[in-house]
Amino acid sequence: MKIIYSFILITIALTACFIEDLYLGEFPPGADTKVPFTLRTHTPFKFDQDKALSEKRLVALDRYIPLYVSQPQNFHTAKTKMVRLVMKVHAHMTQKNSSRDELTQMLKEDFGLEIDPFALNKMLAYKDLDKLLTGLITLQDAVYREKIVLDLSLLRDKQQVEIYYPEFARTFLYDISEIITLEQARRMLKERVMNLFWKVDKSILTTVTEILNSVQSINLDYDNLENKKRIDDIIDQFPKNIVQYDSGQVLVSAGTSPGDAGLLLLNAYTRARRSDLERTAVWVTLAVILIVVMIIRLPLRSIHTVKNHINRLFFVLVTHIILFRLYLLFAPFPVESLPFALLPLTLLLLKQDKSLVLFTVAAASAIVALFSGKGIEVLLFWAFGGVISVIMFQSIEKKWQVFLPALGVGIVNAVFIGAVTLANPDTVNGIRMQMNLDADFVRNFMGLVTQSTIKWAFFGGLAAGLLALVLLPFMEIIFRSASTFKLRRLLDLNHPLLKDLLDTSPGTYQHTMMVAHLAQTAGEAIGADTLLLRVGAYFHDLGKIMKPSYFVENQFSGKNYHDELEPRESKEIIINHVLEGERLAVSYRLPESIIDMIRQHHGTQIVQYFYNKAQQHKPKPKINPDDYRYPGPKPQSSEAAILMITDTAEAAARSIETPTRDKIEQMLRHVIEAKLIDGQFDDCDLTTRQIAEIFKVLVNALEASIHSRVKYPWQEKKT
């Protein structure tokens, strides 16, 4: 079975370590492909953005469509000037006293022209000048319907242009062939004037065309501010820096497309990763195998049952490795935010031995460090957090108390990351510069703290407490195990099984209450799990419900039913109370740890009374002692061993006539020595020092509860 578990753990660990490499190697994404999970770096590498993105940047800039803004007011200004000129010319022609100097001044101020006096006189001598100018205005309207820019230098190598019309608040795309320059517009206007008014003297046409072209202007203006912003945005998409990526950094988040720039980044990372992938794969594989070998060679003396422990250990470890990997695959947060303390908190809530939890934390932190790619730094980070959670996990009686060790882990995580951050020379230099340049250093330093991974490390530790409470009920169902919270619920004496025990077997019920008191007292003396001891004592004799009258503590009438049975039959009834108790506990879904206490509280001891009775038959039969043994197993934990001692001691103490301390000590010493000689404590971690401490406190407890009293006078009368 260990081989199967080891193979499963090795397979999952190696898959977790190389899942990104498998995906990028076998199913490389395209620019528009949504990646199924977050891709993180496993190898530090430098990404030369300028080298990788320069071609894309040039293509993007080449495809950029310039933006022009329509300027209709230019047309209105030019037309207004021409209309005023027509009115001035008309006034000059109809009013003989009109000054020619005023017209000259107008042409200079409004049109910026200084026309030769001879040409001006010749133009003014033309009798239909006002009609000619009115016709030119019509031509001017037609030319202004074109899309006129100052020059085409900004549109070189472009295929389209975008024009924004403020009067419509909309933009439209046009082919570049539809755009003309101001010079082309002026030539167009001149050609149309010459073609349309060919009968007019050319010198006059030349003068009026010069006037008309002087007010001709562009109707599209290049939007410098918006175009600069758009071009800067394109350049920002393809920066020119050399970026250092450390292990564990996010390249592409789950469910997003890398885009052209992201695809180049992935390609650069793949090339960097490929150069050392073979070497890394060998070392990672050897490390995973070594960790698994250490787990399967772990000593298991302190566990309730070896088989159940192996199942639990591997299942919890594999489950958390999968959960941690899924977190890193689908959460786009820093690696330090991983709630690693979830593993030790879950094991501690399931009442696992702290030394075992520490070992599991060490193994898990090594595996998670391997597939996170962060190395020794993050391994120590998680190991510290796991150790703190074990140290701070003391007496947890209420669910909210789980957040105390979680808070401690969060604080330690934040301090650890803060220390690592401050140990970075670049960070120190940045802080020194900040102190020199900015008087408000504290505010900026706190900003550095809140923006870095420190806050993520803190919340990762704190979240472990909440997640442990969420995960705990599922683990309890899977393992039929019991957390402190579940065991405390079983202390309720109104539990159906305990009520049945009281109704059917009142003597046994009183026996269990006394055993619970003695077991808790002994457990406190050696630091055992007193809650488990009390609950286990409550339920250890459940099986006596089935045939209560066959057990001496329930024989109130004085009749012993075993007098009518063969020793073999009596032995079966006595032994069956363990099996029946186990059956009842399973049917009521009691935790596995309590079922173990029921199985183990007699271990593999001989049912001594009926074994001796069988040997007394005549002729003396040949009897195998193993036929009279309980099915066991022997106690696998110090708690089960304590329950075995107190169960026997309480029953034996009741048989002492006129109990004294010496008699109690003698009885208890015999009980413990008999079990030691029989090897009942061989499979648990109970030490001789602990046994001596148990002996001492049990003598005191039994003496206090069953000591002799002075007889009343009426008790001394002879019958």
Q: Cα(493)–Cα(488) distance, rounded to whole angstroms?
A: 11
**Do 465 and 440 share a structural domain?**
yes
Domain end marker among 479, 514, 534: 479
Residues 475, 526 within the same domain: no
Tens of pLDDT, residue by residue over 131-178, are 888 888 888 888 888 999 999 988 888 999 999 999 889 999 999 999
* Separation CA 355–CA 368 (nearest Å): 20
Same domain membership, residue 517 and residue 450: no
Q: In sequence order, what are the residues at sequence separation of 6 or more whose Cβ sits closer than 8 angstroms to the Cβ of residue 19?
A: 37, 325, 329
Least confident of 35-49, 300-314, 442-456, 677-691: 300-314
Is residue 8 within a helix (H) or strand (E), and if so which, with residue range? Answer: helix 2-26
Whether residues 417 and 268 share a domain: the answer is yes
SS3 of 250, please? strand
User: Are 499 and 434 in the same domain?
Assistant: no
Please indicate, yes or no, whether residues 101 and 75 belong to a single structural domain of this protein. yes
Q: Report the alpha-carbon distance of residue 466 to residue 452 in Å, rounded.
A: 23
The pLDDT of residue 669 is above 90: yes
626: helix, strand or coil: helix
Q: Are 522 and 641 found together in one domain?
A: yes
Q: What is the CATH number of the domain that holds 674?
A: 1.10.3210
Please state which of the ranges 210-214, 269-273, 308-312 shows the lowest mean pLDDT.
308-312
Same domain for 619 and 579, yes or no, is: yes
Is the residue at 237 inside a domain?
no
pLDDT tens per residue, range 432-465? 555 554 545 555 555 555 556 888 899 999 999 9
Residue 95 lies in a domain: yes
What backbone torsions phi and psi does residue 622 show, to the nearest 5 degrees? Answer: -95, 110
User: What is the rounded CA–CA span in Å between residue 316 and residue 310?
Assistant: 10
Q: What is the DSSP letter of 282?
A: H
Residues 40 and 125 in one domain: no
Q: How many domains does the chain have?
A: 3
Residues in Cβ contact with 258 at an 8 Å cutoff, skipping those fewer than 6 apart: 29, 31, 33, 35, 251, 252, 265, 266
Q: What percent of the chain has pLDDT over 70?
A: 90
Q: Which carries the bigger pLDDT value, residue 710 or residue 387? A: 387
Residue range of the domain that includes 178: 67-226
CA distance 311 to 1: 9
Token readout for 408 is: 């401690």
Q: Tell me the mean pLDDT in the region 322-337.
A: 90
Average pLDDT of the segment spanning 525-539: 92
Q: Cis link prior to 619 (omega < 30° from 0)?
A: yes
Alpha helices in 588-632 (DSSP H): 592-600, 608-615
The answer to whether 534 and 356 have CB atoms below 8 angstroms apart is: no
Flag whether 365 is in a domain: yes
pLDDT of residue 261: 77
Tokens of 129: 């000048």
Query: Would you give the DSSP letter of residue 180?
Result: E
Confidence of residue 507 (pLDDT cuts 50, 70, 90): very high
Tell me the whole-structure pTM to 2 decimals. 0.66
Quickly state the pLDDT bin for 428 (edges 50, 70, 90): low
Q: Are residues 94 and 11 in the same domain?
A: no
What is the rounded CA–CA span in Å between residue 210 and residue 138? Answer: 16
Q: Which of 452, 479, 506 is the last residue of a domain?
A: 479
Query: 3-class SS at 267?
Result: helix
DSSP 679: T
Q: Which of 419, 444, 479 finishes a domain?
A: 479
Q: Which one has a higher pLDDT value, 246 or 98?
A: 246
Helix and strand counts by DSSP (H, E) for the chain: 30, 10
Specify whether 709 is located in the same domain as 623. Answer: yes
Quote the pLDDT of residue 451: 54
In this structure, the dihedral spanned by the alpha carbons of residues 371, 372, 377 and 383, taken in order and rounded to 10 degrees, is: -70
Residue 711 or 312, more confident:
312
How much is the pLDDT for 713? 59
* Residue 54 in domain: no
Give 719's pLDDT tier (boundaries 50, 70, 90).
very low
Domain membership of residue 394 (yes or no) is: yes
Q: Let me know whether 436 and 534 are in one domain.
A: no
Does residue 240 form part of some domain? Answer: no
d(CA 224, CA 232): 12
Q: What is the mean pLDDT of the chain?
A: 85
pLDDT in tens, 108-128: 888 888 888 888 888 888 888
Whether residue 58 is contained in a domain is answered as: no
Which pLDDT tens digit goes with each residue over 552-591? 888 887 788 888 888 899 999 999 999 999 999 999 989 8
When pLDDT is cut at 50, 70 and 90, the band that residue 304 belongs to is very low
pLDDT band at 311 (very low <50, low <70, confident <90, very high): low
Specify the higher pLDDT residue, 439 or 520. 520
Is residue 241 domain-resident? no
